[in-house]
Amino acid sequence: MLCPGAESVEEGTKITIPYPCDFHHHFRQGPAISSTVPVASERFGTALAMPNTKPPITTVPLALKYHEELMAARGGGDMDIVNVLYLTDNTKVETVDEMAKHDFIVGFKYYPAGATTNSDAGVTDFRKCYDVFKRVEELGMVLCIHSEVSDADIDIFDREKVFIDRVIKVIVSDFPNLKIVMEHISTSFGVDFINSLPPTSRVVGSITPHHIMYNRNALLVGGVKPHFYCLPILKRESHRVSLLSAATSRSGRFIMGTDSAPHTVESKESACGCAGVFNGHCAVEMYVEAFEGAGRMDALEDFVEAGKKFYGIEDGGRKMELVKETWEVPGTMEFGENKVKPLRAGEKMLWKIVR
């Protein structure tokens, strides 16, 4: 898929990019991590592990245990893993101080209660967390936000816009120095909001490969395609275009976050299918393909670096080499004792990681 005027890069062309880091990854738990961690480790220098496990990672001891398990699951890989704690209405300020003693804990994940997978223990009213926000701001830690309301009367396609108007604007105004990631932004409203903030603002937006490559037709045209169902839900084409132009804008305000979110084949292909797209096996390659399609390969470096700068990740200038060469994504992949259907299953990828 090439934008008008964009030239396709020739087969066999090699490119070198700063080593990518994924600032939003669902590794899951138990036997599943022996599948998800090694796959991510082939692509990312650092990955930020999401805490919406069962039970959720709400305390420092739980984070220590989860971090240890994930690190052990790397096998021979050398990916670093950082964690966030799952924020609840009852999270204590003392927990923030305890978190700050561990370098691998970078902040909190704020799930509005009921917004997505395993978010029931999430936040019911953001004002209940003001003491915690204040301490996170003081300590320079990060608040990652699933930026959608979950109110039953709000249309699923409007959840992000309403969250911006009712929640994010208030938090940003009350905590102007708080480091915030609006995660997996999915609309031009998210892009415009972030771009509207002053240069002193410490708010960035993460963008997934699926939200810059697909619109809601992928999910709904020709029959329901459950493997494209994720939250935030894919939106109309104009939003996809806006996200792609944000990712390629070189503004430093948009960062890589794949939201790779595997579920078993059975739990996706169901009368009530789970939300989540598994892209951990091809996310970097998809970003490159999207940037190529937009004719903006020149902006890849800035996009990769923006997240590392925001999170303060130092990797000594490590690089990744990719080649324009096709390979086929398998129909299914191992997912612990189960199988997951990967994004682009059975399709050709256009870029391959060399090293």
Ligand X SMILES: O=C1C[C@@H](C(=O)O)NC(=O)N1
Q: Looking at the annotation, which residues are catalytic?
A: 259
- Containing 76, the helix (H) or strand (E) segment is none
Q: How far is the CB of 278 from ligand X (least distance, A)?
A: 9
Distance CA 149, CA 115 (A): 7
SS3 content of the chain, % helix, strand, coil (to 5): 35, 20, 45
Question: Of 54 and 127, which has the nearer Cβ to ligand X?
Answer: 54
Nearest to 91, CA basis, from 147, 130, 51: 130
Nearest to 317, CA basis, from 300, 297, 296, 301: 301
Q: How far is the CB of 230 from ligand X (least distance, A)?
A: 3
Whether a cis peptide bond, with omega within 30° of 0, leads into 61 is: no
Distance CA 118, CA 275 (A): 11
Q: How far is the CB of 146 from ligand X (least distance, A)?
A: 5
Distance CA 191, CA 185 (A): 7
Q: How far is the CB of 296 from ligand X (least distance, A)?
A: 26
Q: How far is the CB of 117 from ligand X (least distance, A)?
A: 3
Question: Of 211 and 253, which has the nearer Cβ to ligand X?
Answer: 211
Question: Of 293 and 342, which has the nearer Cβ to ligand X?
Answer: 342
Amino acid at the residue 197 = L
Query: In the complex, which residues of this chain contact ligand X (CB under 6 A)?
Result: 26, 52, 116-117, 146, 230-231, 259, 261, 275-276
Question: Of 18 and 276, which has the nearer Cβ to ligand X?
Answer: 276
* The CA-based dihedral angle spanning residues 69, 71, 73, 76, taken in that order and rounded to the nearest 10 degrees: -160
Per the DSSP assignment, residues forming a β-bridge with 182 are 145, 205
CA dist 290 → 65, 70, 120, 215 (Å): 37, 30, 34, 13
Per the DSSP assignment, residues forming a β-bridge with 353 are 322
